Amino acid sequence: MKAIVHKYEMDNIDTDVIIPGPYLKIMDPDELAKHAMEGLDKDFVGKVNRGDFVVAGENFGCGSSREHAPIALKHAGITAVLALSFARIFYRNSVDGAHLLPIEIDRDAYENISDKDQLEVDINKGEVNNLTKNKIYKMKPFPELIRKIIDVGGLLNYTP
Amino acid sequence: MTITEKILARASGNDKVSSGDVIFANVDKVMLHDVSGPGVMTIFNDLEKKGRKIEKIWDPSRVWVSEDHFVPSVDKLAAQNIVLVQNFVKKFGIEKHFKYGLGQYGICHTLSHEEALVLPGEVYVGGDSHTNTTGAIGAFATGMGHTDVAYVLLNGKIWFRVPETILFKMEGNIPDYLMAKDVILNIIADHGTDIGNYKTIQFNGSAISNMPMDERFTLTNMTTEAGAKNGIIEPDQTTIDYVNERSNATFTPVFGDSDAEFTDVHTYDVEKMEPIVAKPFSPANRAIVRELGSIPIDKAYIGSCTGAKYTDLVEAAKIIKGNKVKARTEVLPAAQSIYRRALKDGLISIFMDAGAVVGPPTCGACCGAHMGVLAKDEVCVSTTNRNFPGRMGHIGSKTYLASPKVVAASAITGVITDPRDVR
Ligand code: SF4
């Protein structure tokens, strides 16, 4: 995976800003995607290209359990969110629903990555390669079960 | 083992589990509503399109469904979702469907305890983040998204990472100007909105023993705002009586061992607390009401699974009684049963005599969906649990989270007010 970063240098980006409450009645993922990050950045949808990454701080995706949040991001084009930490339901939803990859990075990497940097993410190597800055960061490895669920394409395809 | 570990050990068929273990646990109860439900249905449809026939779910008697977020139907799309829910319930033979306009209904978390749908010692998964609420009954209760709920409906089990537990020992007698809401907002302000991430928050102590169940539910409800996987309180006589008043079902309460390990223990003296609010835009953004200065409000909101239980209405009514409200005041009881009891006990007249509007149970304004959303720059003091940007309406509106007592006092003065200053 090789694409551009959209960096939001903030902690606690909650699901109410990722996809505001009034849109929760929408089930069509492409309709949802039109409102991705609407509560934080009105220009988000316009500037994201298929495959791009979001980079953010601590506790990304806190708040409501709405799976609409990773669905909206995915259908807006995002394939992975790289954050210092994730709220647990957002993490589960992203992996179990096979919407996007929640990748935990350390503070050095977080601070080093700038908006619009081009990254290459390799989950097999456990590495994030910043092509713009010519730097390689380690990502926090996925726990064993999470990795298996990712590999089979979501929890519904997984047999314990 | 802690109570959470013991419940998860039982449910996963292990003698012992420890924090960090990843297990598959059998689920006892599962809930979906008019937002998570249509999500589950979309997944079922996708599976069928891929050739998997789904004729039955694991155990319809362990499933219940509420209509709460978008009722009364806000528009055609919401109305259509209710039809989807209705068809789903019929197709799979789910009997516990709390349908708007057909007897008892209300906000899912309120129904879970009002109707004793979850029992002490059970594993309960709900398609809503505030599923944590029900942990006050001594159950393992946690929220998930609709893929996970779909998986539970098909398989009756789900994976968990066994959480570490943080214990909050709450000592003292709650003074009559405070409520559980002040207690939990203080905890969140002291420790942050992610202290509980991947963890359990457990409460005990004399302040908890003296608390009615309705107040305990406020604490566990807002463990979600502390990021916790679940909030929990070990059952005592108050819990047992509460459940027995509502259900004939038998259950086996679970208690933690005396040598249970906690990753952290924090002790509080509740008598030292002051009435507080959480200012916009975080539940951790504390201010003591008396130190707040004059904050005029446009709206006082008494609603939601956090702040419109019977006890919440009683406490608000005590303050409002005989006064007139000076700001738009909306009271939405959290379930039809609570509305009826409030009507019978004269609380509804107190609110209406004061000039407030009383509306039907719904999530509505709590999540900014409908039934009284905020305009740009409007200020609301609210008994709900979240005040993120745009949560209750326009992105430029401002919500202050507070106890029902503070909201009631503010309603009759028109500015955010300490309940001690209106007597
Ligand atoms: S009342 Fe508010 S917090 Fe409670 S379930 Fe409804 S939307 Fe969620």
Domains of chain B: 3-267 (3.30.499.10), 277-422 (3.30.499.10)
Look over chain B and give the mean of its residue pLDDT values, rounded to a whole number.
97
Please tell me the predicted confidence (pLDDT) of residue B225.
Answer: 97
Q: How far is the CA of B135 from the centre of ligand 1 (A)?
A: 16
Q: How many beta-carbon pairs below 8 A join chains A and B?
A: 126
Please tell me the predicted confidence (pLDDT) of residue A1.
Answer: 78
Q: What is the pLDDT of residues B145-158, one digit of tens each?
A: 999 999 999 999 99
Mean pLDDT of the region A81-103: 97
| Residue B229 contacts A, CB cutoff 8 Å | yes
Q: Which CATH architecture has domain A2-157?
A: Alpha-Beta Barrel (3.20)
Is-contact B280 B309, C-beta < 8 A? no
| Residue B267 contacts A, CB cutoff 8 Å | no
Q: How many angstroms from the chain centroid is the CA of residue B91?
A: 29
ipTM, 2 dp? 0.95
Is-contact B142 B229, C-beta < 8 A? yes
Closest CA to B315 of B222, B215, B238, B220: B215
Decide if pLDDT at A160 tops 90.
Answer: no
Q: What is the pLDDT of residues B23-79, one digit of tens each?
A: 999 999 999 999 999 999 999 999 999 999 999 999 999 999 999 999 999 999 999
Decide if pLDDT at A121 tops 90.
Answer: yes
| Residue A41 contacts B, CB cutoff 8 Å | no
Mean pLDDT of the region A68-82: 98
CB contact (8 A) between residue B74 and residue A25: yes
Q: Sorting pLDDT into bands at 50, 70 and 90, what band is B411?
A: very high
Mean pLDDT of the region B318-335: 98
Q: Sorting pLDDT into bands at 50, 70 and 90, what band is B304?
A: very high
| Residue B198 contacts A, CB cutoff 8 Å | yes
Q: Sorting pLDDT into bands at 50, 70 and 90, what band is B189?
A: very high
Please tell me the predicted confidence (pLDDT) of residue B29.
Answer: 98
B chain contacts of residue A142, beta-carbon cutoff 8 Å: none
Q: What is the pLDDT of residues B107-133, one digit of tens each?
A: 999 999 999 999 999 999 999 999 999
- CB-nearest to B388 from A16, A58, A96 is A16
Residue extents of the structural domains in chain A: 2-157
| Residue B69 contacts A, CB cutoff 8 Å | yes
| Distance between A87 CA and the closest CA of chain B, angstroms | 6
**Is B71 near ligand 1, meaning CB less than 6 Å away?**
no
- CB-nearest to B193 from A12, A92, A145 is A12
Nearest Cα residue in chain B from A143 = B22
CB contact (8 A) between residue A65 and residue B143: yes
> Which residues, 6 or more positions from B292, have their beta carbon under 8 angstroms from its beta carbon?
B277, B416
- Ligand 1: residue whose CA is nearest its atom 6: B363
Residue B198 zone, left/alpha/beta (φ > 0; ψ -120 to 50; rest): left
Mean pLDDT of the region B225-251: 98
Q: How far is the CA of B386 from the centre of ligand 1 (A)?
A: 9
Q: Sorting pLDDT into bands at 50, 70 and 90, what band is B171?
A: very high
Please tell me the predicted confidence (pLDDT) of residue A128.
Answer: 97
**Is B305 near ligand 1, meaning CB less than 6 Å away?**
yes
Q: What is the pLDDT of residues A10-46, one digit of tens each?
A: 999 999 999 999 999 999 999 999 999 999 999 999 9
| Distance between A65 CA and the closest CA of chain B, angstroms | 5
**Is B385 near ligand 1, meaning CB less than 6 Å away?**
yes
Mean pLDDT of the region B310-333: 98
Buried b (16+ CB within 10 A) or exposed e, B359-382: bbbbbbbbbbbbbbbbeeebbbbb
A39/A58 Cα distance (integer angstroms): 18
Q: Quick one: what percent of chain A has pLDDT higher than 90?
A: 96
Query: Phi then psi for B10, rounded to 5 degrees?
Result: -60, -45
Please tell me the predicted confidence (pLDDT) of residue B423.
Answer: 74
